[in-house]
């Protein structure tokens, strides 16, 4: 089992920045896929960024490319999402997820068995 705990959400004005963190614990093996998803009210959950922890594969949705940066601290099994130039349309609940199975980009939520509890990001205009 793997446990994921997000932190770092909050409320900011448009143009501001937030940094989300996702700490993983439990049966962690080297080389697995981690992703950041978001879900706004009335909308489907979408994958906004993904990374293969073994290196060499990173994904960004077009809507966040150039503004969001996914990174990791492998020594602490922590995943980050640096979000800059935030827009009101970025308002959503953000979730981190993980899978030890091979997956492709864009990340699909049904491919990820492990999820954090979510952290709210609200961007005001």
Q: What is the mean pLDDT of residues 73-83?
A: 89
The H or E element that residue 47 is part of is: strand 46-52
Q: What's the pLDDT score for residue 42?
A: 94
User: Which of 20, 42, 41 is closest to 97 using CA atoms?
Assistant: 20
Q: What's the pLDDT score for residue 4?
A: 96
Classify the C-alpha dihedral 118-107-125-85 as positive or negative.
Answer: positive
Between 114 and 31, name the one with better pLDDT. Answer: 114
Q: What is the mean pLDDT of the chain?
A: 94
The H or E element that residue 93 is part of is: strand 92-99
pLDDT at 67 over 80: yes
Cβ contact 93:59 at 8 Å: no
């Amino acid at each position: 089992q793997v446990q994921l705990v997000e932190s770092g959400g909050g409320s900011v004005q448009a143009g501001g920045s937030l940094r989300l963190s996702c700490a993983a614990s439990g049966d962690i093996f080297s080389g697995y896929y981690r992703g950041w998803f978001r879900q706004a009210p009335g909308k489907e959950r979408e994958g906004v960024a993904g990374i293969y922890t073994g290196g060499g594969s990173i994904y960004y949705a077009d809507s966040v490319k150039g503004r969001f940066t996914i990174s990791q601290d492998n020594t602490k099994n922590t995943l980050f999402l640096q979000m800059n130039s935030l827009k009101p349309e970025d308002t959503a609940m953000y979730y981190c997820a993980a899978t030890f199975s091979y997956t492709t980009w864009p990340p699909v939520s049904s491919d990820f068995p492990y999820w954090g509890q979510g952290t709210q990001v609200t961007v005001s205009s």
